[in-house]
A = this chain, B = another copy of it.
Amino acid sequence: MQQTIKEILRNPSIGRELTVCGWVRTRRDSGSLSFVEINDGSCLSNLQVIADSGLENFADEIKKLSTGSSVEVCGTLVASPAKGQEVELQAGKVTVLGYADPATYPLQKKRHSFEFLRTITHLRPRTNALGAVSRLRSALGSGIHEFFADHGFYQVHTPIITTSDCEGAGEMFTVTALDTGQLGGPDPFANDFFGRRAGLTVSGQLQAEVYAMALGRVYTFGPTFRAENSNTSRHLAEFWMVEPEMAFCDLACNMDVAESLIQTVISKILDSCPDDLNLFDRFVAKGLVNKLETTCAQPFVRLTYTEAIDILQEAQGKGGREFEVPVSWGMDMQAEHERFLCEEVARRPVIVTNYPWAIKPFYMRLNEGEKTVAAMDILVPGIGEL
């Protein structure tokens, strides 16, 4: 396969002949030269192509290239005199694969709003921001699979269509193979594909536990669904979720694995996707890279629920801190409490353990004393509960 721009820039060998395909980001003319920035989506960076007027299709074709056009360029990689790029491609031949009419092609060399991009979902992955999101999401996925493989976990594919619910984690979508005309009546699903009402999974935990009790360490990583019509930044109808399950593991080991997963995966993207992360740091979420580096630089703080409540009550009392919901032992901590703990007290991720049994699902292991259960949540600055 052809080298991608990412591969070329990672190991640039000056003087080498190569062929690059991509989409034109910009083109500008200067004297007898045309400078064509092309991007192939393999990385944020473009490769600058230098086309000179001696090329046979210079006037007829190359000078008609505009943003969004696709080209194949054969040329020689040379050191670039320009700032901000180590190399450029001196074109020997430029083949136009497709033009993009500048009068109608909606992406131009400027920042488009996310709202506008949402109206052209078939083109928005070509923007810097959405391209970076896509590459990061893929790198995070790879990192998760690698982490678990390195730690002796097997991936299990738990059912998406299921007749089990899970601890009331959320409203379920119903799945049916019936036609509209067959859907009336009190129990249409008795004649349906599965002979009863089936739905989309809200969690693979039940099945993952079965496999953990046989394979030892397993994880799921697949789509999960919620039918709540809730339009907040923390709710999605469909999302991909990771659920690890381990046999022969206690709460301390569980915390170690969770912390190690988060730090390992973040370290990996800091290492493999610096340009994409810097783009977000500059334009979308200032301080992002520093926050990610801090997350990896030191161990997470570990507090019991009781210790966390003590800290919050002290802040509320002596500290004079006002919370919208007053703090008392037994309460389900709100986002304001969680963020106070990790953003203002610890200034890094906090793992809270041993919650009162009454505010956690029925299946949590009861601790000695029978007031708390061996559960944990991870609180992260800027987000709250992960």
Contact = CB atoms under 8 A, between A and B. Distances in A.
A225 B137 CA distance: 24
Contacts of A70: 247-248
Contact of A223 (B1, B160, B210, B229): B160
Interface string A88-127: 0000000001000000000000000000000001110110
A12 interface: no
A319 to B, nearest CB: 39
A177 B171 contact: yes
A186 interface: yes
Interface stretch (A78-86, A151-159, A298-306, A369-377): A151-159
Given A41-B216, A214-B126, A175 B173 contact: yes
A214 B237 CA distance: 26
Given A152-B7, A161-B173, A211-B134, A227 B193 contact: yes
A313 interface: no
Contact of A186 (B152, B180, B225, B229): B180
Contact of A152 (B1, B211, B216, B229): B1
B237 A193 contact: yes
Interface string A143-169: 001000101101111011100000000
Interface string A202-240: 000000001101111100001101010100000001101
A122 B208 CA distance: 10
A152 B6 contact: yes
A229 B195 CA distance: 12
B176 A155 contact: no
A133 to B, nearest CB: 11
A188 interface: yes
A126 B216 CA distance: 10
A308 interface: no
Contact of A41 (B7, B159, B215, B256): B215
Contacts of A151: 1
Nearest to A240: B157
Q: By DSSP majority rule, is chain A's interface helix, strand, loop, or mixed?
A: mixed
A21 interface: yes
A22 to B, nearest CB: 8
A174 B181 CA distance: 13
Contact of A4 (B125, B152, B178, B188): B152
B121 A160 contact: no
Most buried by B among A1, A159, A200, A257: A1
A125 B174 contact: no
A53 interface: no
A220 to B, nearest CB: 11
Contacts of A72: 248
Given A2-B248, A223-B223, A248-B2, A42 B176 contact: no
B174 A156 contact: no
A364 interface: no
A283 B245 CA distance: 30
Given A7-B152, A72-B248, A141-B145, 11 more contacts: A42-B152, A42-B217, A125-B211, A125-B213, A125-B214, A130-B214, A134-B215, A137-B157, A142-B149, A161-B237, A180-B187
17 contacts: A1-B253, A7-B152, A21-B248, A40-B216, A40-B247, A41-B247, A123-B210, A123-B214, A125-B213, A142-B155, A145-B145, A157-B223, A160-B225, A161-B200, A177-B227, A183-B188, A193-B227
